[in-house]
Structure 1
Amino acid sequence: MNKPQTITPVFETPYERAGVITPGLPILPHGTERHPVPGGGSRAVPVYKGDEISVLDRDGLQPGELVFFTPDGTSDAGMLGARAAGPANGVISVLANGSRSGAKVAKALDSAGFDLGRAEAIRIFPDGSRPGDMETFHASCDGLLIVAAPGGMMHPGEQNPPTELILYIRRADPNAGKEDIGPPDPLADPLVDINIQPGEAKSYEVKKGQFIQILDVKGRECSDFQAFSLRALDKGLEREIDPTTTRSLMGNLYPAPGIFSKYWSSDQEPLVEIIQDTCGRHDTFGLACTARYYDDLGYPGHVNCSENMNTDLAQYGIRPRGGWPAINFFFNTMLDDTNAIGMNDPWSRPGDYVLLQALTDMICVSTACPCDVDPANGWNPTDIQVRTYGAGEDFSRSVGYRKSAEADLEETKKTGFHDCFARHTRDFVEYAGYWLPNQMTNHGALAEYWACREKAAIMDLSPLRKYEVTGPDAEKLMQYCVTRNVKKLAVGQLTYTAMCYEHGGMIDDGTLFRLGEENFRWIGGNDTSGLWLQEQGRKLGLNVWVRSSTDQLHNVAIQGPLSRDILREVLWTAPTNPTVDELGMFRFCVARLGDVAGIPVVLGRAGYSGELGYEVFCHPKHAVEVFDAIWKVGEPMGLTPFGLAALDMVRIEAGLIFAGSEFDDQTDPFEAGIGFTVPLKTKEDDFIGRAALEERKAHPHRKLVGLEVEGGIVASPGDCVRIGKAQVGEITSAMKSPILGKNIALARVSVTHSEPGTEIEIGQLDGLQKRLRARVVPYPHFDPTKERVKGNYEKELVPGE
Structure 2
Amino acid sequence: MRQPVISRPWEPALFARAPNLERHRVAPGGLTLINLQAGDSLQVIDLEGDQRAELHAFNPNGHAALAALSLSATPGAEFSQRLLTNGSAASERSQRRLLGLGINATTLPPAADLWPAGTPAGYSRTLQAAEALLVMVAAPGTDSPVFSQLRASELRLLIQRTNPRQTLAPPLPEALGEVVDEFTIKPGTAQAYAVAAGQYIQVLDVAGRQCSDFVAFDRRNLDAGREVDLDPTVTRTLNSNAYPSAGLFSRFFDRNMQPMLEVRRDTVGRHDTFALACTSRYYESHGYFGHANCSDNISRALAEHGVAARPGWPAINFFFNTAIDDHQQLTMDEPWSRPGDYVLMRASNDLICANSSCPDDIDPANGWQPTDIHIRVYSAKERFSIAMATRISPDSDPVLTRESGFHPGTSALTRHFVDYRGWWTPTHFEGFGALEEYHGCRERVAVMDLSALRKFEILGPDAESLLNHCLTRDVRKLAIGQVVYSAMCYEHGGMLDDGTLLRLGQDAFRWICGEDHGGVWLREQAEKLGMKVWIKSASEQIHNIAVQGPLSRELLSQMIWTPPSQPSVSELGWFRFLNGRLDDYNGCPIMVSRTGYTGELGFEIWCHPSDAMRVWERVWQVGKPLGLVPLGLHALDMLRIEAGLVFAGYDFSDQTDPYEAGIGFCVPLKSKQDDFIGRDALQRRNASPQQRLVGLELEGNEPAAHGDCVRVGRAQVGVITSATRSPVLGKNIALCRLAIDYCEAGTAVEIGKLDGQQKRISARVSSGTVAYDPDKSRVRS
> Quick one: distance in 1 between partners of 2:523 and 2:295?
49
Indicate conservation of the 8 Å contact 1:481/1:688, yes or no.
Answer: yes
Indicate conservation of the 8 Å contact 1:41/1:150, yes or no.
Answer: yes
Indicate conservation of the 8 Å contact 1:42/1:146, yes or no.
Answer: yes
Alignment equivalent of 1:784, drawn from 771, 774, 780: 774
Indicate conservation of the 8 Å contact 2:710/2:720, yes or no.
Answer: yes
> How far is 1:436 from its partner?
0.8
With over 3 angstroms needed to count, the CA separation of the structure-2 counterparts of 1:550 and 1:543, relative to structure 1, is same
1:703 corresponding residue in structure 2: 692
1:246 corresponding residue in structure 2: 235
1:655 aligns with 2:640: no
1:682 aligns with 2:671: yes
TM-score (norm 2): 0.96
Q: Which amino acid aligns with 1:621?
A: S
Alignment equivalent of 1:536, drawn from 525, 544, 568: 525
Q: Which runs of 5+ in 2 are unaligned?
A: none
Indicate conservation of the 8 Å contact 1:602/1:617, yes or no.
Answer: yes
Moved more, 313-322 or 196-205: 313-322
2:138 corresponding residue in structure 1: 148
2:280 corresponding residue in structure 1: 291
1:302 aligns with 2:291: yes
With over 3 angstroms needed to count, the CA separation of the structure-2 counterparts of 1:194 and 1:432, relative to structure 1, is same
With over 3 angstroms needed to count, the CA separation of the structure-2 counterparts of 1:100 and 1:713, relative to structure 1, is farther
With over 3 angstroms needed to count, the CA separation of the structure-2 counterparts of 1:131 and 1:21, relative to structure 1, is closer
With over 3 angstroms needed to count, the CA separation of the structure-2 counterparts of 1:126 and 1:94, relative to structure 1, is farther
Alignment equivalent of 2:154, drawn from 153, 164, 180: 164
Indicate conservation of the 8 Å contact 2:78/2:110, yes or no.
Answer: no
Q: What secondary structure is seen at the aligned counterpart in 2 of 1:23?
A: coil
> Counterparts in 2 of 1:378-527, with a 5 A limit?
378-527=367-516
1:606 aligns with 2:595: yes
2:99 corresponding residue in structure 1: 110
> How far is 1:180 from its partner?
8.7
> Quick one: distance in 1 between partners of 2:661 and 2:148?
33
Q: Which amino acid aligns with 2:354?
A: V
Identity over aligned pairs, percent = 50
Alignment equivalent of 2:340, drawn from 330, 334, 351: 351
> Quick one: distance in 2 between partners of 1:208 and 1:705?
54
Indicate conservation of the 8 Å contact 1:284/1:333, yes or no.
Answer: no
> Quick one: distance in 2 between partners of 1:341 and 1:761?
32
> Quick one: distance in 1 between partners of 2:354 and 2:18?
37
Q: Which amino acid aligns with 2:149?
A: Q
Deviations 1:212-234 (A, max 9, x none): 11111111111111111112223
Q: What secondary structure is seen at the aligned counterpart in 2 of 1:557?
A: strand
> How far is 1:167 from its partner?
2.8
With over 3 angstroms needed to count, the CA separation of the structure-2 counterparts of 1:97 and 1:519, relative to structure 1, is farther
Moved more, 489-498 or 220-229: 220-229
TM-score (norm 1): 0.94
> Counterparts in 2 of 1:580-729, with a 5 A limit?
580-729=569-718
Q: What secondary structure is seen at the aligned counterpart in 2 of 1:134?
A: strand
Moved more, 588-597 or 228-237: 228-237
2:538 corresponding residue in structure 1: 549
With over 3 angstroms needed to count, the CA separation of the structure-2 counterparts of 1:609 and 1:138, relative to structure 1, is same
With over 3 angstroms needed to count, the CA separation of the structure-2 counterparts of 1:100 and 1:528, relative to structure 1, is farther
1:281 corresponding residue in structure 2: 270
Indicate conservation of the 8 Å contact 2:81/2:108, yes or no.
Answer: no
Q: Which amino acid aligns with 2:31?
A: S
With over 3 angstroms needed to count, the CA separation of the structure-2 counterparts of 1:127 and 1:200, relative to structure 1, is closer
> Quick one: distance in 2 between partners of 1:349 and 1:754?
46
1:315 aligns with 2:304: yes
Q: Which amino acid aligns with 1:322?
A: P
> How far is 1:92 from its partner?
1.9
Indicate conservation of the 8 Å contact 1:195/1:385, yes or no.
Answer: yes
> Quick one: distance in 1 between partners of 2:336 and 2:548?
40
2:114 corresponding residue in structure 1: 124
2:84 corresponding residue in structure 1: 95
Alignment equivalent of 1:47, drawn from 28, 32, 36: 36
> Counterparts in 2 of 1:2-81, with a 5 A limit?
18-23=7-12, 25=14, 31-81=20-70
Q: Which amino acid aligns with 1:290?
A: T
Q: What secondary structure is seen at the aligned counterpart in 2 of 1:727?
A: strand
> Quick one: distance in 2 between partners of 1:155 and 1:640?
28
Indicate conservation of the 8 Å contact 2:169/2:206, yes or no.
Answer: no
Deviations 1:510-559 (A, max 9, x none): 00011111111111101111110011011111111111011010101100
> Counterparts in 2 of 1:228-267, with a 5 A limit?
228-267=217-256
> How far is 1:72 from its partner?
3.4
> How far is 1:452 from its partner?
0.7
> How far is 1:146 from its partner?
1.5
Q: What secondary structure is seen at the aligned counterpart in 2 of 1:382?
A: coil
> How far is 1:124 from its partner?
3.0
Indicate conservation of the 8 Å contact 2:323/2:332, yes or no.
Answer: yes
Moved more, 126-135 or 665-674: 126-135
> Quick one: distance in 1 between partners of 2:246 and 2:218?
25
> How far is 1:29 from its partner?
6.5
Deviations 1:250-275 (A, max 9, x none): 01112211110001111101101100
With over 3 angstroms needed to count, the CA separation of the structure-2 counterparts of 1:648 and 1:96, relative to structure 1, is farther
Q: What secondary structure is seen at the aligned counterpart in 1 of 2:14?
A: strand
Moved more, 125-134 or 363-372: 125-134
Alignment equivalent of 1:218, drawn from 177, 185, 207: 207
Indicate conservation of the 8 Å contact 1:94/1:148, yes or no.
Answer: no
> Quick one: distance in 2 between partners of 1:144 and 1:581?
57
> Counterparts in 2 of 1:360-375, with a 5 A limit?
360-375=349-364
Indicate conservation of the 8 Å contact 2:523/2:535, yes or no.
Answer: yes
Q: Which amino acid aligns with 2:103?
A: F
1:83 aligns with 2:72: yes
Deviations 1:107-145 (A, max 9, x none): 222332213424112123333222222234444443322
> Quick one: distance in 1 between partners of 2:735 and 2:238?
32
Indicate conservation of the 8 Å contact 2:267/2:390, yes or no.
Answer: yes
> How far is 1:419 from its partner?
1.0
Indicate conservation of the 8 Å contact 2:552/2:602, yes or no.
Answer: yes
Indicate conservation of the 8 Å contact 1:558/1:614, yes or no.
Answer: yes
> How far is 1:583 from its partner?
0.5
Moved more, 237-246 or 670-679: 237-246
With over 3 angstroms needed to count, the CA separation of the structure-2 counterparts of 1:681 and 1:154, relative to structure 1, is same
With over 3 angstroms needed to count, the CA separation of the structure-2 counterparts of 1:76 and 1:513, relative to structure 1, is same
Q: Which amino acid aligns with 2:11?
A: T
1:10 corresponding residue in structure 2: none
With over 3 angstroms needed to count, the CA separation of the structure-2 counterparts of 1:100 and 1:665, relative to structure 1, is farther
1:188 corresponding residue in structure 2: 177
With over 3 angstroms needed to count, the CA separation of the structure-2 counterparts of 1:612 and 1:105, relative to structure 1, is same
Indicate conservation of the 8 Å contact 1:41/1:102, yes or no.
Answer: no
Q: Which amino acid aligns with 1:126?
A: P
> Quick one: distance in 2 between partners of 1:46 and 1:787?
63
With over 3 angstroms needed to count, the CA separation of the structure-2 counterparts of 1:658 and 1:96, relative to structure 1, is farther
Q: Which amino acid aligns with 1:443?
A: F
2:759 corresponding residue in structure 1: 770
With over 3 angstroms needed to count, the CA separation of the structure-2 counterparts of 1:515 and 1:249, relative to structure 1, is same
Q: What secondary structure is seen at the aligned counterpart in 1 of 2:215?
A: strand
> How far is 1:670 from its partner?
0.2
Q: Which amino acid aligns with 1:767?
A: G
> How far is 1:284 from its partner?
4.1
Q: What secondary structure is seen at the aligned counterpart in 1 of 2:545?
A: strand
Q: What secondary structure is seen at the aligned counterpart in 2 of 1:514?
A: strand
Q: What secondary structure is seen at the aligned counterpart in 2 of 1:693?
A: helix
